[in-house]
Structure 1
Amino acid sequence: MQSSTSSARRVSETAMPFHGGTGRVGVLFCHGFTGSPWSLLEWAKATADAGYRVALPRLPGHGTSWQEMNLTGWQDWYSCIEREFDELRSQCDQVFVAGLSMGGSLALLLAEKRGDQVAGLMLVNPAVLPYPKDQFAPIAQHFISSVKAVGSDIADPGVTEHAYPRSPVRAAASMMKMWVEVRACLDLVACPLLLFRSAVDHVVPDASKDFIRDHVSSDVIIERVLERSYHVATMDYDRQQIFTESLDFLAVHSQADRAN
């Protein structure tokens, strides 16, 4: 096992975590599989600038190498999110959770386990089901260590996600195990939900977003279609729509003052 110092030196400059804002309403941001905080950084900064306290951690195994990520699993990623959530709760009166792709499934799992401690969810192309071609990872992990990744699925040709060029299969199999748990308990999610879905998504199928919408118990479900963006919509043409509508959602559903 590598020391934390050695591991920290290997972290990409674009994968550094971000914490900002000083308000009494917190927002925890969860990035996606093989991605990094970079994919949510602009969204997190816009939220902090609006007066919210934000946390955008780097999930274990991300921002270093796909080989290192293969040594981690969903329990590691979830533990990271839960620690950050508890830290925000110690500083805030309310905490919302936002997630992209696998970050969306982590956010849902947190809401399932922590109930009304989660004030609301803001999800962008959340993943709880794979495309059929990707469903064999649990078997493939015994034969291959990685496959070509579908990272940086962005319509804007001038933007790069800086995700891994290869997808670690063992880690992908672990993610799919988490999805089983998330799907089984979606009825426990009762908080307000803002769901963004791209009209064209090459990573997460429409069935995943439909399943979430149809199985949560939330009284408030706001669904928005992002017409010009691919999977990583938080960095794509419709990102400003995400930022604006999520701030509107926070303003409506937060009960505490943003500022100290």
Structure 2
Amino acid sequence: MKTGVLCIHGFTGGPYELQPFVDFLKVNTDWKIVVPTLPGHGEILSLNKLSAENWMMAAEQTLRQLQKEVEQVYVIGFSMGGVIALYLANRYPICKLVLLSAAAKYIYPTQLLQDIREIAKEVMAGKLEDNQLYQLYRKKWKSTPVQAAFEFMRLVRIVEPYYGQITIPVCLVQGKKDGIVPYTTAQFLFNQMATEKKELIYSETGKHHICYSEDCKDWFNKALQFLKEKEEKG
């Protein structure tokens, strides 16, 4: 059976957010993997006048094309992409979901403050330009219109009423040091979803960009095992 995988990146991000996991899957499977860039996203952001519907429809169009080329589809969603994955699962025949740092709730202030403190320490030490976190936030702060952030939050509100309708197998992966999505979000989603086949994997050291966590190889293997596992016959 030919398998396709749709990978969906997060808000203000791009395919690079999922690249380490995508590379791992390419080495360990023969699946057809597609990683679209949502409208206005990628290395250079251009988010003016874009809506939640633009992002959902783009993912939807890619899914529909993929479904024409394969017999079964898995969807992997990171952050906002995890929410879009849930939206797609309610509308299309998808076999399994993997949700990475899914942004069903957002901005975890405690960890964000800790990250900002780390930036502040490096400012005092004159190392600010070397801080990857600072570079990431600076780039996004400059390029993200306020209206786009409201559209992201609106997307979450659009999809939230349907969490309880998810009946396909789901694997959730969440970093405990996530500065954007509270790590308790994964448990919240786990409890909300109706499916009986669900797994919850925590990364003790993982921050929001979970595909770049120090222990990513551990959960890469667990998530792949989940996807490869044959569904139990009733």
1:202/1:174 CA distance change after superposition, 3 Å: same
Give the AA of the match of 1:221.
K
2:226, 2:131 → 1: CA distance? 29
- CA distance in structure 1 between the aligned counterparts of 2:23 and 2:132, rounded to whole angstroms: 18
* TM-score for both structures, normalised by structure 1: 0.73
Q: What residue in structure 2 maps to residue 181 of structure 1?
A: 158
- 1:182-218 deviations in Å (ceiling 9; x for gaps): 1111111111010111111110113432321111111
Deviation at 1:70, TM superposition (A): 2.8
TM-score, structure 2 normalization = 0.81
Q: Matched residues in 2 for 1:237 and 1:105: separation? A: 24
Q: Distance in 1 between matches of 2:185 and 2:32?
A: 30
Aligned mate of 1:165, from 107, 131, 140: 140
**Residues 124 and 169 from structure 1, CA distance in 2 versus in 1: closer, same or farther, beyond 3 angstroms?**
same
Which residue number in structure 1 is paired with residue 127 of structure 2? none
Aligned match for 1:245, one of 202, 222, 231: 222
Residue in structure 2 matching 1:120, options 96, 99, 120 = 96
Q: How much has 1:254 moved relative to structure 2?
A: 7.2
The one-letter amino acid paired with 2:39 is: P
**Where does the alignment leave 5 or more consecutive residues of structure 1 unmatched?**
1-22, 134-149, 151-156, 256-260
In the alignment, the residues of structure 1 paired with residue 231 and residue 18 of structure 2 have an alpha-carbon distance, to the nearest angstrom, of 21
1:202 to 2:216 alignment: no
Q: For this pair of structures, how many residues does the alignment match? A: 208
| Contact kept? 1:159, 1:236, Cα under 8 Å | no
Structure 2, unmatched stretches of 5+, are 110-114, 116-129
- If each structure's helix is expressed as a fraction of its own residues, which one has the higher value? 2
How big is the shift at 1:65? 4.1
Residue 190 of structure 2 is matched in structure 1 by 213
Letter in 1 for 2:170: L
Q: Aligned-pair RMSD on alpha carbons?
A: 2.4
Change (3 A) 1:254 1:56: farther
Matches within 5 A, 1:103-114: 103-114=81-92
Identity of aligned residues (%): 26
Q: Which residue of 1 aligns with 2:32?
A: 53
Residue of structure 1 equivalent to 2:63: 85
